[in-house]
Amino acid sequence: MFLSIDAGNSNIVFGLFDPKELLWKHEFRVETRFNLLEHELEGAMHLYFLENNLHKSQISQVGISSVVPEINALLVQFCQMYLRLSPYLISGESYRNLQISTSKPNEIGSDLMANAVAAYTKFQCACIIVDFGTALTFTVIDIKGEMKGVNIVPGIKTAIKSLHTNTSKLPEVSLDWPASAIGKDTVHSIQAGILYGYAGLVKGMIESIKEELPNENFKIVATGGLSSILVNLKERFDELDRNLTLEGIRQITLHNRSGKSFQ
């Protein structure tokens, strides 16, 4: 099996791809912390593998995307010591000779590039990838596979946490879709403001990108842990793929290790 590790600012996601069934079959998460220890990762993986009747010997390759440089050495050491494997850590150098091109490889997060590679490989057309994570990002790719740019705004949970942290009376609320766009009490008011507000933001951003590039026939692809929260956006997306980043990590790793185009 192939292990993709996606280290983000909130969570480190471990995903396992079964090459026989061509499916992402297993996923677990560990909270991202700068003081995270190797034995904590070992314990989390060991427990998950026990519960799912897996063994670390089933893993043959590992690819890592990390936007948290402070934990890169930990992740590499974990793979080397616990899995006995040398992982591929994606960097700006990894983007050479991919189907996706970017003029600023060292400024593009490896998670965003993974999204772009996976989406373009699948659709072979212009794409707008909306990633609902710690940040809400919009990655724009044209028909030729050139990354035109990325828009970044605070993610939904980030906005809710910021509202709670920076006010004395507003609570941190759950991400439940409200019955009405007009808040009736404090919790409902925050949920309506954030969720309906972000739905409008996503719609508006997609339309603005389309207006700026009117000759592109975009596929709209959503991913990220919160991609299903904004229920009134489902019809706006051509594809909803929670495993998009994991798949992109796998493709970039295999491409760079084999030296061949991904199939």
Show binding-site residues for K(+): 131
CA distance 133 to 223: 8
Orientation of helix 110-123 relative to helix 244-258, angle to 10°: 90
**Which residue ranges are tagged as binding site?**
6-13, 109-112, 131, 134, 186
Q: Is 142 a catalytic residue?
A: no
**Which residue ranges are tagged as binding site for substrate?**
109-112, 186
Tokens 């309506």 appear where? 192
Contact predicate 141/163, CB 8 Å: no
Q: Which of the following is catalytic: 111, 142, 185, 238?
A: 111
CA distance 242 to 129: 12
CA distance 6 to 8: 6
- What residue type is 15 in one-letter code? G
Cβ-based burial of 72 (10 A; exposed 0-12, middle 13-18, buried ≥19) = middle
Q: Give the HSE-up count for residue 223: Cα atoms under 13 Å, Cβ half-sphere.
A: 24
Catalytic residues: 111
